[in-house]
């Protein structure tokens, strides 16, 4: 992987504490790949053969319940690692990763994980910090499912996506990747009908605009109030 300039990666968490020469050592062993929206990067339960760094796009992490239902656990933004099963002492992937939009990622064989974490201290510390943040987000999601009303959960899910990927448009703040009402139902443990009802009501009240795979939050403050985040 010699064509990618290491200066493009110096600000990304896994590389931010490394010298350019160290980044180059890691990059030359990377395999780049582009994924169309909806393509799987890896599948839950399959052997963990490679770990990845997302350069562009957004990744949806999906877990399957014992009953066969799919739950969207989180979204991953550019500059983050994914598929880091070795960091969890696993040899299989704990979830499925799907491209939420057209995405570009680098990947390395998992056999290099021990070498990278041992040789590049900054790579290890930043990677495990990212892992800790994700576990914290998962804990927040579990708490929401256990304690919040459906409307609060849906509002909180929209706010998370806005915080993670939001871009300003004339109407408000747009979620930067395609998201369907079914996606939202899978994030919040509720039905498609309930999500549709809530979004329709919020559209009438001027809080959001929702079209096919496209959501704009037109009144973020009121959505925060609905989520119960103000106290």
pLDDT in tens, 6-27: 877 888 888 888 888 999 999 9
Domain membership of residue 14 as a residue range: 6-145
Both 19 and 110 in a single domain?
yes
Q: Is residue 156 part of a domain?
A: yes
Q: Which residue, among 82, 107, 101, 108, has the nearest Cα to 35 in the 3D structure? A: 101
Q: Kindly report the CA angle at 67 between 66 and 71, in degrees rounded to 5?
A: 80
Q: How many CA atoms lie within 13 A of 12 on its CB side?
A: 20
Both 46 and 33 in a single domain?
yes
Specify burial of residue 64 (Cβ count, 10 A radius: 0-12, 13-18, 19+): middle
Which pLDDT score is estimated for 145? Answer: 75
Per-residue tokens: 69: 């239902």
Looking at 90, 121, 145, which one is the last position of a domain?
A: 145
Q: Is residue 1 part of a domain?
A: no
- Give Cα 154 to chain centroid, integer Å: 17
Q: Is residue 180 part of a domain?
A: yes
Specify burial of residue 181 (Cβ count, 10 A radius: 0-12, 13-18, 19+): buried
Q: Is residue 94 part of a domain?
A: yes
Q: What is the CATH number of the domain that holds 154?
A: 1.10.10.10
Domain total in the chain: 2
Q: Which residue, among 104, 224, 83, 71, has the nearest Cα to 160 in the 3D structure? A: 224
Which pLDDT score is estimated for 230? Answer: 52
Looking at 127, 145, 163, which one is the last position of a domain?
A: 145
Print pLDDT tens along the chain (231 aa).
456 778 778 888 888 888 889 999 999 999 999 999 999 999 999 999 999 999 999 999 998 888 888 888 889 999 889 999 988 889 999 999 999 999 999 999 999 999 999 998 888 888 888 878 877 877 777 777 777 899 999 999 999 999 988 999 999 999 999 999 999 999 998 999 999 999 999 999 999 999 888 999 999 999 999 998 654
Give me the helix-helix angle, 121-147 and 150-165, nearest 10°: 160
Which pLDDT score is estimated for 3? Answer: 67
Give residue-wise pLDDT tens across range 50-68. Answer: 999 999 999 999 988 888 8
Which pLDDT score is estimated for 231? Answer: 44
Kindly provide the b/e burial profile for residues 153-179, where b requires at least 16 CB atoms within 10 angstroms of the residue's own CB: bbbbbbbbbbebbbeeeeebbbbbbbb
Looking at 92, 123, 145, which one is the last position of a domain?
A: 145
The dihedral over CA atoms of 220, 225, 226, 229, expressed in degrees to the nearest 10, equals: 100
Q: Is residue 49 part of a domain?
A: yes
List helix spans (H) across the chain. 20-27, 113-119, 121-147, 150-165, 181-188, 192-204, 220-227
Cα–Cα distance, 162 to 189 (Å, whole number): 19
């Amino acid at each position: 992987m010699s064509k990618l300039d290491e200066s493009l990666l110096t600000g990304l968490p896994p590389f931010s504490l490394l010298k350019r020469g160290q980044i180059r050592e890691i990059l030359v062993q990377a395999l780049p790949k582009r994924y169309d929206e909806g393509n799987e990067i890896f599948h839950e339960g399959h052997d963990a053969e490679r770990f990845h760094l997302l350069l562009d796009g957004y990744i949806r992490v999906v877990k399957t319940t014992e009953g066969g239902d799919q739950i969207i656990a989180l979204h991953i933004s550019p500059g983050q690692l994914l598929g880091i099963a070795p960091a969890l002492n696993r040899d299989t992937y704990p979830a499925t990763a799907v491209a939420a939009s057209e995405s570009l990622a680098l990947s390395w064989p998992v056999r290099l994980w021990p070498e990278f974490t041992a040789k590049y201290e900054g790579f290890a510390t930043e990677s495990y910090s990212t892992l800790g943040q994700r576990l914290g987000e998962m804990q927040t999601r579990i708490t929401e499912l256990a304690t919040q009303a459906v409307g609060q959960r849906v509002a909180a899910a929209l706010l998370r996506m806005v915080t993670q990927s939001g871009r300003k448009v004339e109407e408000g703040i747009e979620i930067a990747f395609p998201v369907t009402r079914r996606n939202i139902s899978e994030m919040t443990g509720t039905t498609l009908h309930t999500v549709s009802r809530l979004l329709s009501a919020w559209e009438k009240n001027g809080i959001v605009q929702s079209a096919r795979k496209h959501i704009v939050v037109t009144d973020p403050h009121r959505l925060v109030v609905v989520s119960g985040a103000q106290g």
